[in-house]
Amino acid sequence: MTAFKVALVGGLRGQDVPEWVSERLRAENIDFAARECMSRQELAEIAGDADVVWVYGDHQTVYAENLDVLARCGAIIRTGSGTDNIPVPEATALGIIVANTPEAISDSVSNHAIGLLFAVIRQIAKQDRLMRRGVWDRYAGWPDWHLSGQALGLVGFGHIGRLVARKMAGFDMTILAHDPVVPAEVMARFGVQTVAFDDLLAQADFVSLHCPLIPSTYHLIDERALRLMKPKAVLINTSRGPVVDETALFRALNEGWIAGAGLDVFEQEPTPVDNPLLALDNVVVTPHIGGYSDEFYDNFWRFSVETAIDFAKGRMPRSYVNRDVKPRWTLAERDASGD
């Protein structure tokens, strides 16, 4: 009988595969191969006979036109949360499950979203810049917001959105959420009110984005959406840059449609130094580091290895994005009542 094989095809960026990874997989009778694949031919050589193809982070080799070389593939693991670098519709049509590992970064990203919110509403970044220039002026960076009694709107209510809701629950806020794939009863268990997208934008004092980048969310926050928001509203984006139309956001911030923004992600990354958003005083920016922490690498490896072992043992993964897939394999379903 041919051994179950997992092929890690790229995304390491010079990082070595920890020794324990291959040892753990071998202990489960899983063949493991790793290579930074930069072409269709390299992908075929290492992963053509793999049961699971593993993509570490935002690596770009597994294109739709390359899926045909993955003859045995029944699952693709994308380490991390976003799967916009994976051809999900084409994989779904072939019966390939697209798994991800949002739990590896969800705690850090939720903390970062909250941190950006506080940095904006408490004017921390602006005050820091002023003091470093020798300006001691409390009125120049006045924190013109408060939290108690305000409404926080979460667009997307997966792992990260739920953690944000739980962590912000102690601030005496109303928490609203919109997610077309999460039942209202699940949101209710987190003390969150389910609302329509437009209602969330109109009612929330602070809007935090936690949705994946898929065709329906590209430029979800456009001019129409921004004009629905309150003039004192703050937008936080730790999801994906193209969820927000940056041209419209610049106008909204510059012309006062909304009051501030905290951005960890951008339409183009690295974002150009002449991006007009970087010149605005009411914007706090970071370079797509929301998921990073002292636990980042350990979590990235561990959750992916556990997902690979799940597949080898005939179990559905903890998280996968193509819920409508008809898998090539027969796998035991997990209890998804809390997911």
Biggest CA–CA distance in the chain, Å, is 74
* Calpha distance 60→73 (Å, rounded): 17
Given 59, 159, 240, 302, the catalytic residue:
240
Given 23, 26, 224, 269, the catalytic residue:
269
C-beta atoms surrounding 251 within 10 Å = 16
pLDDT value of residue 216: 95
Local structure of residue 312 (DSSP, 8 states): H
Ordered per-residue pLDDT tens for the chain, 339 residues = 578 999 999 888 778 999 999 999 999 999 999 999 999 999 999 999 999 999 998 788 898 999 999 999 999 999 998 899 999 999 999 999 999 999 999 999 999 999 999 999 999 999 999 999 999 999 999 999 999 999 999 999 999 999 999 999 999 999 999 999 999 999 999 999 999 999 999 999 999 999 999 999 999 999 999 999 999 999 999 999 999 999 999 999 999 999 999 999 999 999 999 999 999 999 999 999 999 999 999 999 999 999 999 999 999 999 999 999 999 999 997 554 444
| Domain ranges for the chain | 4-104+294-312, 106-285
240 catalytically annotated: yes
Give how far the C-alpha of residue 133 lies from the chain's centroid of Cα atoms, to the nearest Å. Answer: 35
- pTM comes to 0.91
Tokens 């809701």, residue?
Answer: 165
C-beta atoms surrounding 143 within 10 Å = 14
Q: Which phi and psi angles does 151 have, rounded to 5°?
A: -115, 130
Residues 6+ apart with CB under 8 A from 41: none
C-beta atoms surrounding 17 within 10 Å = 13
pLDDT value of residue 285: 98
pLDDT value of residue 1: 57
To the question of domain 106-285 being in CATH 3.40.50.720, the answer is yes
Would you state the structure tokens that stand for residue 271, as one six-digit string? 């974002």
Same fold, 4-104+294-312 and 106-285: yes
3-state secondary structure of 337: coil
* Topology (CATH level 3) of domain 4-104+294-312: Rossmann fold (3.40.50)
* 99: nearest Cα among 299, 326, 308, 332: 308
pLDDT value of residue 338: 42
* Calpha distance 5→53 (Å, rounded): 9
Residues 6+ apart with CB under 8 A from 257: 226, 227, 229, 231, 251
Given 35, 40, 219, 288, the catalytic residue:
288
